[in-house]
């Protein structure tokens, strides 16, 4: 774009200089020998050539400004599109992100930690779904479970002795959940009085939470496949 503008401006400026050169080429010796009528005619010709040159100059300035505006517009459009694409990729979970948030660890209690009549009930997919939903309601912008990024297409389900997350099978006694958002809101959504953590505690699951200014969550490494849905065209 810059090279094109430069070439066009150069050509237009050359045309202007040629016009002025023609005006200056009349020799003073010819003026001395001209009759009054001829001088009037020549003066009129000069005026015409000057006006033509000025008109061409104005066109050059107008064209240059137009190119500058188009160039600026293209740059702004490109910057806007890039920003929108970046935000979209973050929302879809396709980029590594970091920010204020919490890191919550759920693990099974030891025999010594169990209170009277308490029995350990391993964490189920249903528990993780509840926890994720509570965090989302509290404004979590990104969530991961054992480094598996939670996105709109994430599946969390019990499969035998394992829990399937993003088509990967996990079975462990400890689950680490990261969430980015207002750390106070995120903590209160689970650890407040009557929160879900109290329910897990009676099931033999202990919970720990840590607020951090820089919680890092890895991107979703799967693929988004769209096989059936399609955009609805607007009616004209």
pLDDT in tens, 125-135: 999 999 999 99
Per-residue model confidence as pLDDT tens digits over 42-53: 666 666 666 666
Kindly write down the DSSP assignment for every residue of 16-50, as one continuous string: HHHHHHHHHTS-HHHHHH--HHHHHHHHHHHHHHH
Please report whether residue 224 resides in a domain. Answer: no
Q: What pLDDT, on a 0 to 100 scale, did the predictor assign at position 214?
A: 95
The domain in which residue 62 lies consists of 2-92
Q: Domain check: are 76 and 159 in the same one? A: no
Final residue before a domain boundary, out of 92, 122, 139: 92
Q: Domain check: are 35 and 60 in the same one? A: yes
Residue written as token pair 């080429």: 25
Query: In this structure, are residues 140 and 180 in contact, taking their beta carbons and an 8 Å threshold?
Result: yes
Structure tokens at 218: 């890895």
Structure tokens at 188: 């209160």
The answer on pLDDT for 145 being more than 60 is yes
Q: Domain check: are 211 and 104 in the same one? A: yes
Distance in angstroms (rounded) separating the CA atoms of residues 67 and 11? 14
- Tell me the pLDDT band of 167, cut-offs 50, 70 and 90: confident
This prediction has a pTM of 0.64
Q: Domain check: are 14 and 86 in the same one? A: yes
Per-residue model confidence as pLDDT tens digits over 57-77: 677 667 666 666 665 566 666
Residue 213 Cα distances to 6, 104, 151, 179, angstroms: 49, 14, 22, 11
């Amino acid at each position: 774009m810059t090279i094109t503008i430069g070439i066009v401006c150069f050509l237009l400026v050359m045309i202007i200089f040629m016009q002025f050169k023609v005006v200056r080429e009349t020799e003073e010796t010819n003026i001395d020998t001209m009759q009054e009528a001829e001088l009037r005619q020549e003066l009129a010709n000069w005026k015409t050539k000057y006006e033509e040159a000025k008109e061409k100059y104005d066109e050059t300035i107008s064209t240059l400004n137009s190119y500058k505006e188009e160039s600026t517009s293209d740059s702004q459009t490109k910057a806007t599109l890039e920003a929108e694409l970046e935000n979209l990729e973050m929302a879809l979970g396709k980029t590594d992100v970091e920010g204020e948030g919490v890191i919550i660890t759920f693990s099974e209690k030891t025999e010594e930690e169990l209170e009277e009549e308490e029995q350990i009930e391993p964490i189920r997919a249903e528990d993780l779904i509840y926890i994720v939903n509570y965090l989302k309601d509290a404004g979590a912008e990104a969530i991961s479970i054992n480094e598996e990024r939670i996105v709109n297409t994430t599946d969390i389900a019990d499969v035998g002795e394992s829990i399937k997350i993003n088509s990967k099978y996990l079975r462990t006694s400890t689950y680490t959940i990261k969430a980015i958002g207002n750390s106070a809101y995120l903590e209160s959504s689970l650890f407040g009085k009557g929160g879900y953590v109290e329910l897990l505690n009676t099931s033999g699951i202990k919970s720990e939470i840590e607020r951090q200014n820089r919680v890092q969550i890895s991107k979703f490494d799967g693929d988004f496949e769209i096989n059936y849905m399609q955009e609805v065209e607007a009616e004209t």
